[in-house]
Amino acid sequence: MKLMSETKENPQVFAVFGNPVKHSLSPLMHNAAYREMGLHAVYIPFCVKNLTEAVSGIRGLPISGVSVTIPFKTGVMDLLDEVDEDARKIGAVNTIRNDAGKLTGFNTDWTGLALSLAGVMEIAGKRFAVLGAGGAARAAVFALLKKKGNVTILNRTRDRGEKLAREFGCEFRPLVEANEIRADCLINTTSVGMAPHEGASPFGPFKPGDFRWVVDIIYNPLKTKLLADAEAAGCSILNGLDMFVLQGAEQIRLWTGKEPPEDVMRNVVLGALGGGHPVPGPGR
């Protein structure tokens, strides 16, 4: 893949489009990666007011690659020249690559989730309960089915959950029946419990033995109430830190064709979250 020349005068420009974006840790994580990789590149946050004009700007400026975040992951799809098959099935694009003016959309959220889970457990043949039916749930369900897991969707609102289950050909249970669910792994894809609402949890109380693993896609706080409750009930837990890092690492692969320094990325994010000492990634 031919990207812009990396001369001193012309750094390669990458960006994140969102609204709001001021709390995004992506600029910190990507810029740390580029520094470590010796790339002459910068990654800039843009709080987008008009998505159509912003996407034109990718071509016009030009910007080599863009991360797309809330609330644009679905709306951006119609503005691109091509959307890869996985992203189309998920119905969301979180990554745009600019190949000499041709904009292609990808989804690396599902890859981040699949890689993070695969670092701690076997997915194939295991039973997963996915809590939520929004965009994040779609990426999670796609990832689990692609890796041959069995999925039950749990959602507060029946209609929305049933619709998602029908589309992906999996089972649905209303969240109020959650205490009847047994699975190898529960994955929270809702934002319930995210800072600044650390006291909230979408699920509970846990009964020991219901789930071997409980996973939260949230990484701020690093240990949500859901994960703390699950741990207290004897479950193994996994937070969303690695999913976040690995979706970003996959973006760098798509944009540069080069291998990103995942440990550097993880540690800079962990530092920003007040997570204490640098840690090596699980299983990598």
Q: Which residues are part of the catalytic machinery?
A: 73
**Minimum CB distance to ligand ATR, residue 189 (Å):** 6
Question: What gap in Å lies between CA 192 and CA 210, rounded to an integer?
Answer: 21
- β-partners of residue 44 are 15
Residues 50 and 56: beta-carbon distance below 8 Å: no
Cis peptide before 174 (omega within 30 of 0): no
Q: Least distance to ligand ATR from the beta carbon of 164, Å?
A: 9
Binding window for ligand ATR (CB under 6 A); candidates: 20-28, 109-117, 150-158, 263-271: 150-158
Residue 130's DSSP bridge partners are: 153, 187
Cα 249 to Cα 26: distance, rounded to the nearest angstrom? 11
Q: Is 212 in the site for ligand ATR (CB under 6 A)?
A: no
**156 counts as binding ligand ATR under rule CB under 6 A:** yes
Query: Could you tell me which of 94, 142, 20 has the C-alpha nearest to residue 250?
Result: 94
Q: Give the binding range for ligand ATR (CB under 6 A) out of 18-26, 47-55, 113-121, 135-143.
A: 135-143
- The Cα-based distances of 139 to 28, 184, 209, 238, 281 in angstroms read 24, 19, 27, 17, 22
Residue 87 binds ligand ATR, judged by CB under 6 A: no
| Binding residues with ligand ATR: total (CB under 6 A) | 16
- Interface positions, 169-198, toward ligand ATR (CB under 6 A): 175, 189-192
Least Å distance between CB 49 and ligand ATR?
Answer: 21
Residue 133 in the binding site for ligand ATR (CB under 6 A): yes
CB 93 within 8 A of CB 108: no
Q: Is 132 in the site for ligand ATR (CB under 6 A)?
A: yes
**Cβ at position 216, least distance to ligand ATR in Å:** 13
Reading the block at residue 117, the tokens are: 């889970």
For ligand ATR, which is the closer residue by CB, 32 or 117? 117
Binding stretches for ligand ATR (CB under 6 A):
132-137, 155-157, 160, 175, 189-192, 202
